[in-house]
């Protein structure tokens, strides 16, 4: 059985993802210019694919940096514990920061990241997330740009994983229930 056999349905096709990413890129182009030289903070690992596609639509001078935060084990539920696994290389004091996330679910991860980065004195801080699951929100976090609002289903692909797999799928799919239930 291959990876694709574990997918119950395609929620957002590759074509739709690419079109929306281009629109988000244009939205970012309207916010920043060369003098801002924004720093895009990619929240690993899930956002790596979105960041890679998003940056290809950007016209202003910018930098990318990476941060890895984990709040989940191998299962599907948030432990509520946020840990920094990898911190930024860059000092963000006085910088225009754009946080790039793949999904905002409970909001705990983003809440932690925004508070943490805010203490470092950025000139501005915004958030661009590909997906948002508003029905799961536990903490309200301001989102400046959202690609798609998704229902409370187990989504994988385009960077999003289940137990570190499925990140490579070029679309957002919903995993078959038996796949994630057998692991718990």
Beta carbon of residue 141, minimum distance to ligand PRP (angstroms, whole number)? 8
Query: Per-residue x/- marks for ligand PRP, 40-69, CB under 6 A?
Result: ---xxxx-----------------------
Beta carbon of residue 37, minimum distance to ligand PRP (angstroms, whole number)? 25
Give the contacts of 128 (CB within 8 A, at least 6 positions apart).
24, 27, 28, 54, 98, 99, 100, 101, 144, 145
CA angle 133/144/142 to nearest 5° reads: 65
CB-nearer residue toward ligand PRP: 55 or 70: 70
Residue 177 phi/psi, 5° resolution?
-55, -40
116 contributes a contact to ligand PRP by CB under 6 A: no
Beta carbon of residue 142, minimum distance to ligand PRP (angstroms, whole number)? 13
**3 state SS for 122-168:** CCEEEEEEEEECHHHCCCCCCCCEEEEECCCCCEEECCECECCECCC
> Which of 105, 111, 152, 161 is an active site residue?
105
CB-nearer residue toward ligand PRP: 94 or 183: 183
Is 53 a known active-site residue?
no
Query: Per-residue x/- marks for ligand PRP, 68-107, CB under 6 A?
Result: --xxx-----x----------------------xxxxxxx
User: Which parts of this chain interact with ligand PRP (CB under 6 A)?
Assistant: 43-46, 70-72, 78, 101-110, 161
Catalytic positions: 105
């Amino acid at each position: 059985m291959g990876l694709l056999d574990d997918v119950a349905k395609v929620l957002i096709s590759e074509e739709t993802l690419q079109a929306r990413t281009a629109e988000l890129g244009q939205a970012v182009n309207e916010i920043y210019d060369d003098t801002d030289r924004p720093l895009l903070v990619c929240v690993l690992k899930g956002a790596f694919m979105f960041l890679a596609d998003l940056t290809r639509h950007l016209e202003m001078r910018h930098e990318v940096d990476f941060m890895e935060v984990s709040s989940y084990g191998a299962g599907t539920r948030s432990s509520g514990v946020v840990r920094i696994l990898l911190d930024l290389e860059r000092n963000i004091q006085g910088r225009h920061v754009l946080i790039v996330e793949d999904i905002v679910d409970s909001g705990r991860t983003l809440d932690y990241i925004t508070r943490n980065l805010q203490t470092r004195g950025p000139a501005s801080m915004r958030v661009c997330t590909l997906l948002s699951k508003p029905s799961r929100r536990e903490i309200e976090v301001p989102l400046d740009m959202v690609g798609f609002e998704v229902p409370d289903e187990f989504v994988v692909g385009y960077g999003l994983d289940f137990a570190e797999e499925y990140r490579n799928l070029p679309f957002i799919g919903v995993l078959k229930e038996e796949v994630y239930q057998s692991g718990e």
